[in-house]
Structure 1
Amino acid sequence: MHDNQPRTTTPDTLPEVITRYLAAHRTHDTATAIAAFTREATVIDDGNTYEGTQAIGEWLDRSATEFMYTIHLTRAQRTDATHYIATHHLEGNFPGGTIDLRYQFTLREDLIERLVIEP
């Protein structure tokens, strides 16, 4: 079967590097979160692009303090061997108060090479 359709999976079947990153991000553990990325990784969030671990670390630190919110993983999908989507529901003191965001991961050599976060 080669239809390349995303397959819903359970959160506990996401690759270890993704669950490690998500747990570190949730607890504001920037050092552990950064270690999940390749050196030349790219993150795209809120229309901004962050390239390399230094820029990603600054983004993580800023996003950890900008708003207070809760985050819950509501869905996990595997697109193919290197692409995964983790959908999160956020509630907090940011504009609008609630949002569902898709964290779209691209992996390379068991690390995150690209992360796109969008509604």
Structure 2
Amino acid sequence: MPNEQPQTIAPDALPEVITRYLDAHRARDTATALGAFHPEATVTDDGRTHRGAPAIETWLTRAAGEYTYTTELTAAWKTAPDRYVATQHLEGDFPGGTVDLHYRFALSDGRIETLVIEP
């Protein structure tokens, strides 16, 4: 199968489960954000991998309270069937104050199976 090239899409064209997660995470709504993930999903953020719903819930809770920041969804790509990248611009009281992060999603059965967050 040939390699597919990333396709730029409008941020509002991301699958509903991704926008639900991003909106809930922005609103610090841990229950709704967690509901977007498979029970055995993995999240890798800041070099640490969190596997399964309890670990992801702990990560979401910590991430919501650690710093105060705003996010803006600035770009999106479809990189393969059921694989998407969303770029978010964050500004806040964390070290450096601003950063653009790439949220790399792999979906399965309409839920997030893996999420990797990196600059």
In the superposition, the TM-score normalised over structure 1's length comes to 0.97
Aligned-pair identity (%)? 59
Q: Could you list the runs of 5+ residues in structure 1 that have no partner in the other structure?
A: none
Whether 2:90 is the aligned partner of 1:90: answer: yes
The answer for the alignment partner of 1:47 in structure 2 is 47
Q: 1:1-119 maps to which residues of 2 (within 5 A)?
A: 3-119=3-119
Please give the TM-score of this superposition, normalised by the length of structure 2. Answer: 0.97
Kindly provide the CA deviation profile for residues 51-82 of structure 1, in whole angstroms up to 9, marking residues without a partner as x.
Answer: 00110010000000100001000000001111
What is the CA distance between 1:89 and its match in structure 2? 0.4
Q: Following the alignment from structure 2 to structure 1, what is the Cα–Cα distance between the partners of residues 81 and 47?
A: 26
C-alpha separation between the residues in 2 aligned to 1:3 and 1:59?
33
Question: Partner amino acid for 1:47?
Answer: G
CA RMSD of aligned residues (A): 0.8
Structure 2 letter corresponding to 1:26:
R
Alpha-carbon offset, residue 3 of structure 1: 4.7
